[in-house]
Amino acid sequence: MKKAFITGVTGQDGYYLSKFLIDKGYEVHGTIRRSSTFNTKRIDELISQYSEKKILNLYYSDLLDPSSLNSLLQNIQPDEVYNLAAQSHVAVSFKNPHFSVSTSTNGPVSLLESVKNLGKEIKYYQASSSEMYGGVSTDYLDENSIFDPKSPYAAGKVFAHHMTKIYRESYNLFCVNGILFNHESPERGETFVTRKITRGIGRIVHGIQNNISLGNLDAVRDWGFAGDYVEAMWLMMQYKEADDWVIATGEAHSVKEFLDISFNHVGLKWEDYVKIDEKYIRPNEVNHLLGNPNKAKNLLDWKPKVSFEDLAVMMVESDLKLAEQEKVLLEKNLISKTWED
Ligand code: NAP
Ligand code: GDD
């Protein structure tokens, strides 16, 4: 049985990747952070199904704790390491630059060093990002496009990207960079723009929220479905050689277009509910990201299966159900309203 080690297993991608690898017959080992409240919500179902059978195994660790990462890798001896952990919110990285940058730079170096020193052939996956390109050009971006990071988050990712390549070239290690463009799902963090919108729509429809406050509605992204993107991560790790890969849909859409589709789905007009709040305007914006996934399509035989429209509808439908449950709990005073109007 192959063993995978995943950092950031409690995140959106951690959830989809764990599920994908378990279905492929892997034993999954993931790190979780100690928190004063439980933070395993996304993977609770997987825990109840697979932890007793030792198919899913969880350990407390942090990317800022190299000794714990090293001893975990020594003990587990995984075949594949997927480094997904990061403070992944771009706007938050301006507010918490030390933490954001330390996690995404020191973490990968610690893991790469451990992988190098283990003396076993271990494959390493680094979660690189389309944010590294900076969003200045409206051209298609591919593996050879120039990086121009616009945030502490993106600068940290550029460093990790180069380090992954350096370990590949210097020590002949199987180190892969997956340059993933934005990918979303019903499991997306609730402060990223797509989920913030669909969560808001669910609550508006059920009468427990009045408005959604947003920032730059003209930003353009290449949005895909997280479930499709974790498959690409795994395919990169099975390819005959380690490389850098762009994963994207090849379609660009604005925040306004996401609003259009999502609000239309419930028969409402977004213009009646969306307010602009300056606090969501970033100090330095990434205006336009559009990826060219042809290399992955041709060599990995990967392609995105879920369209932009279907993704928005999938998220709205899921959040309508969540809001319906919240409404009942609110009426019974079992929860309080913690979200903004
Ligand atoms: P996410 O939902 O924010 O998950 C991030 C994960 O990292 C969570 O499990 C989080 O733990 C963990 N984490 C944060 N800081 C950590 C630290 N210091 N030590 C250990 N774990 C830490 O992000 P995602 O959307 O799944 O993205 C996965 C990775 O892909 C990230 O590296 C992200 O930067 C990158 N990426 C994402 C996208 C995208 O569109 N989703 C695109 C390109 C690249 P808690 O649950 O305890 O917070
Ligand atoms: N979060 C957020 N909240 N974004 C908003 C809002 C708002 O209220 N209003 C407008 N936006 C705009 C942002 O300014 C940005 O241009 C765009 O919507 C997308 O923002 P996010 O959903 O926060 O994602 P991101 O593109 O900044 O970063 C995500 O994708 C990267 C890959 O390109 C994250 O998942 C990163 O971790 C990932 O690397």
Q: Is 179 helix (H, G, I), strand (E, B) or coil?
A: strand
- 331 noted as active-site residue: no
Q: Is 274 helix (H, G, I), strand (E, B) or coil?
A: strand
Q: Which residues contact 95 (CB under 8 A, 6 or more apart)?
A: none
Q: Tell me the ligand closest to 132's alpha carbon.
A: 2
- 326 noted as active-site residue: no
Cβ of 151 closer than 6 Å to ligand 2, yes or no, is no
- Give me the pLDDT at residue 83, please: 98
Q: Is 24 helix (H, G, I), strand (E, B) or coil?
A: coil
- 110 noted as active-site residue: no
Atom 15 of ligand 2, residue of closest alpha carbon: 219
Q: Confidence class of residue 120 from pLDDT cuts 50, 70 and 90?
A: confident
Q: Confidence class of residue 340 from pLDDT cuts 50, 70 and 90?
A: confident
User: What is the Cα–Cα distance from 53 to 148, expressed in whole angstroms?
Assistant: 46
Cβ(84)–Cβ(8) below 8 Å: yes
- Give me the pLDDT at residue 339, please: 83
> Which amino acid makes up residue 278?
E
| Average confidence (pLDDT) over 153-157 | 98
pTM of the predicted model, to two decimals? 0.98
Atom 4 of ligand 1, residue of closest alpha carbon: 11
Atom of ligand 2 lying closest to residue 216 CA:
10
Atom of ligand 2 lying closest to residue 219 CA:
16
Cβ of 87 closer than 6 Å to ligand 2, yes or no, is no
Q: Confidence class of residue 254 from pLDDT cuts 50, 70 and 90?
A: very high
Does 19 score more than 80 pLDDT?
A: yes
Q: Confidence class of residue 119 from pLDDT cuts 50, 70 and 90?
A: confident
| Average confidence (pLDDT) over 38-42 | 94
Delineate the domains of the chain, giving CATH numbers in brackets.
3-184+222-247 (3.40.50.720), 193-220+252-286+308-331 (3.90.25.10)
Atom 20 of ligand 2, residue of closest alpha carbon: 193
Q: Confidence class of residue 201 from pLDDT cuts 50, 70 and 90?
A: very high
Q: Which of the 8 DSSP states describes residue 227?
A: H
Q: Confidence class of residue 95 from pLDDT cuts 50, 70 and 90?
A: very high
Mean confidence (pLDDT) of the chain: 97
Q: Of the residues 131, 187, 231, 326, which is catalytic? A: 131
Does 338 score more than 90 pLDDT?
A: no
